[in-house]
Every structure is written in C-alpha cells, then in structure tokens.
Amino acid sequence: MTYSIGEVAKKFNLSVPTLRYYDREGLMPFVERTTNGTRVFQESDIELLKIIQCLKSSGMAIKDIKIFIEWCSDGDSTLQQRFDLFMKQKAVVEKQMEELNKTLQLIEHKCHYYQVALEAGTEDIHKNKKK
C-alpha cells in the first residue's frame, strides 16, 4: 500500500504544502519518487510521520527533529542518542503536563470566581470578602 502526498495530507490533517515544506527541511528523506518526481509514501513513511507529529506536539523544533531523522538514517550507531532523545523528551512532556496542570487550576479558580460574581451581579462580592 502506497499513498500520494494528498492522501497523506488528509490522513494527518496537514496541508500538502506543509508536507512538502517538511520534506524540504529534511524530515522525509526516505520518501521515494516516481520517474517524473511524484512522491510515493510507503507504510514505513507513515509510521515515521507519526513519530514526527509526536515530537512536534511535544514542542520539538523542526531542525531538531531533522537531527533525529538523520540519526535514523545512520543506523545502529546512533541508538544511544535516539534513546537519550526520547528520555529527554519524556521529561520535557512531563514538565509540560505539570505546568498545564497549574494553568488548569488557575483557570478553574477563575471560573469559580466569575461564577460567584455572576450570581452576585458584581465583581465587588470578592473585594468585600477579602476585607
């Protein structure tokens, strides 16, 4: 099973120019071409794209993902680097979740704050409470 760039775009909910941009940036060096230059995506390219998407949503920059892709091309000699990268990225995401939790708590507090203010018809209800 192979896919055209348009099919891949739909699958990943990305635009076709975005995929070509990723290719240009070196994120997809494995994608084959037909004789007239049309990209042909294999199942394995789809799998790699999933990982690229994953690293992207963990906040990794494209130029850093590119380095990982290069490590993939380099074979077993880079296993340690790739392991380290994912361990580092695991810590990064865990940190992000902590931060997001704090953010959520403040937002929930504000929801409650405005709920009470709405019921009272005025924000002053909070000022009075504090004093």
State the residues that interact with a copy of itself by CB under 8 A: 50-51, 54, 57-58, 75-76, 79-80, 82-83, 86-87, 89-90, 93-94, 96-97, 99-101, 103-104, 106-108, 110-111, 114-115, 117-118, 121-123
Neighbours of 70 (CB within 10 A): 13
Alpha carbons within 13 angstroms on the beta-carbon side of residue 121 total 0
Give the whole-angstrom CA distance, residue 13 versus residue 16: 9
Torsion over CA: 7, 25, 64, 73 (sign): positive
At 29, is the secondary structure helix, strand, or coil? coil
Kindly state the smallest distance separating residue 88's Cβ from a copy of itself, in Å.
10
Amino acid identity at 126: H
Whichever of 50 and 126 has its CB closer to DNA, that residue is 50
The helix (run of H) or strand (run of E) holding residue 1 is none
Span 20-49, contacts to DNA by CB under 7 A: 20-21, 23, 36-39
61 is a contact residue toward DNA (CB under 7 A)? yes
Residue 93 or 125 with smaller CB distance to DNA? 93
Closer by beta carbon to a copy of itself, 70 or else 94: 94
